[in-house]
Amino acid sequence: MSIDYSPNKTSLTVKEHVKSNTNSASDLVHLDPWEKLKQYTDSRIALGRVGCSVPTKPLLKFQLDHAEAKDAVLQDLNVDSLVVKLSEHCRSSIVELDLELFAESSDQTNRQDDQMNDSLEILRVTSQAQDKSEYLKRPDWGRLLSMESAKQLEIFGKDKSYDVAIVMGDGLSARAISENAPKLVAELISLFNDKGWTIAPLVIATGSRVALGDEVAERLHAKMLVMLIGERPGLSSPDSLGIYYTWDAQSSSHDAMRNCISNVRSAGLPTRVAASRLLALMEKSYELKLSGVELKDEQELPVLDQGQTTIKLL
């Protein structure tokens, strides 16, 4: 190919060459045969390609999702905002119990108890992880109550007992708790009240791992523990909340003694469905006096037609 560089023809000749040899951006992108499957999943599939590279749009989307997941891990839980949201969704006035007052004076305890008949009671506790850096580097500290919280809960729970304790922990996504916990807690409180179960004061735990709830339930003398915690963010789910249920939780409890319902969020498992599944588990647990691997989620078991031929996937 040659280009005429004469003063009057250079511009026209070059423009014609560019126009004839450059396709539009949409023509450059080679679509994947699985493109239609994208409507059924948030998984990163059928991205297409431009040459040997990923197209610009899915590349930018990946970078955004990665940034949101990172922010979810590093973000601190805004406890005051969470308390306000709980009040709005539960349609109840909030009474924040000061554990230090209970530790200092039994008279103060009795005085406050008389004022809490129709209010939503909330306790704040912390783990042994003092900040986000310690929380990420020392998972074991996130599983243990701070010495102050442990002592104060011990005093508060003396001579008390409850059927259910609900603990909200920031975990690896404070955003998950902030966005999903208020609606879920409102659903659970309504269901538990219908069952006639006594509910311990709600507990908000910062710097927490799943096992932190065991210590809380043990000190509150609660038969059943419902631990709500922010799950490890995926690249399409920075707001996913997990529910961990344990019967007769103790500080010595381990993972095999827990049942888990995960991916509770607006784009995942709806809060109402999650609450219904949890209640079914708890009713069976109350009957059998156990939880964990021996307690099956019967709502997940498919109804099989015994007359149908079994299909082998592998």
Looking at every residue in the chain, the average pLDDT score rounds to 84
Q: Is 231 annotated as a binding residue?
A: yes
Q: How confident is the model at residue 104 (pLDDT cuts 50, 70, 90)?
A: low
* Interior/surface letters 182-214, b for 16+ CB within 10 angstroms, e for the rest: bbbbbbbbeebeeeebebbbbbbbbbbbbbbbb
Q: Is 260 annotated as a binding residue?
A: yes
Distance CA 243, CA 82 (A): 17
Say what the pLDDT of residue 183 is. 96
Q: How confident is the model at residue 29 (pLDDT cuts 50, 70, 90)?
A: confident
The answer to whether 66 and 236 have CB atoms below 8 angstroms apart is no
CATH class (in words) of the domain with range 73-99+119-288: alpha beta
Q: How confident is the model at residue 242 (pLDDT cuts 50, 70, 90)?
A: very high
Q: How many CA atoms lie within 13 A of 112 on its CB side?
A: 19
Q: How confident is the model at residue 15 (pLDDT cuts 50, 70, 90)?
A: very low
Q: What share of the chain has pLDDT > 70, as a percent?
A: 81
pLDDT of residue 311 exceeding 50, the answer is: no
SS3 298: helix
Residue ranges per domain, the chain? 73-99+119-288
Higher per-residue confidence, 204 vs 32: 204
Q: How confident is the model at residue 275 (pLDDT cuts 50, 70, 90)?
A: very high
Higher per-residue confidence, 169 vs 92: 169
| E strands in the chain | 94-96, 120-126, 162-169, 202-206, 222-230, 241-247, 258-264
Helix 174-195, helix 79-90: angle, nearest 10: 30
Say what the pLDDT of residue 37 is. 82
Choice among 35-44, 53-62, 169-178 with the minimum mean pLDDT? 35-44
Distance CA 226, CA 277 (A): 13
Put simply, whether the predicted model's pTM sits higher than 0.85 gets the answer no
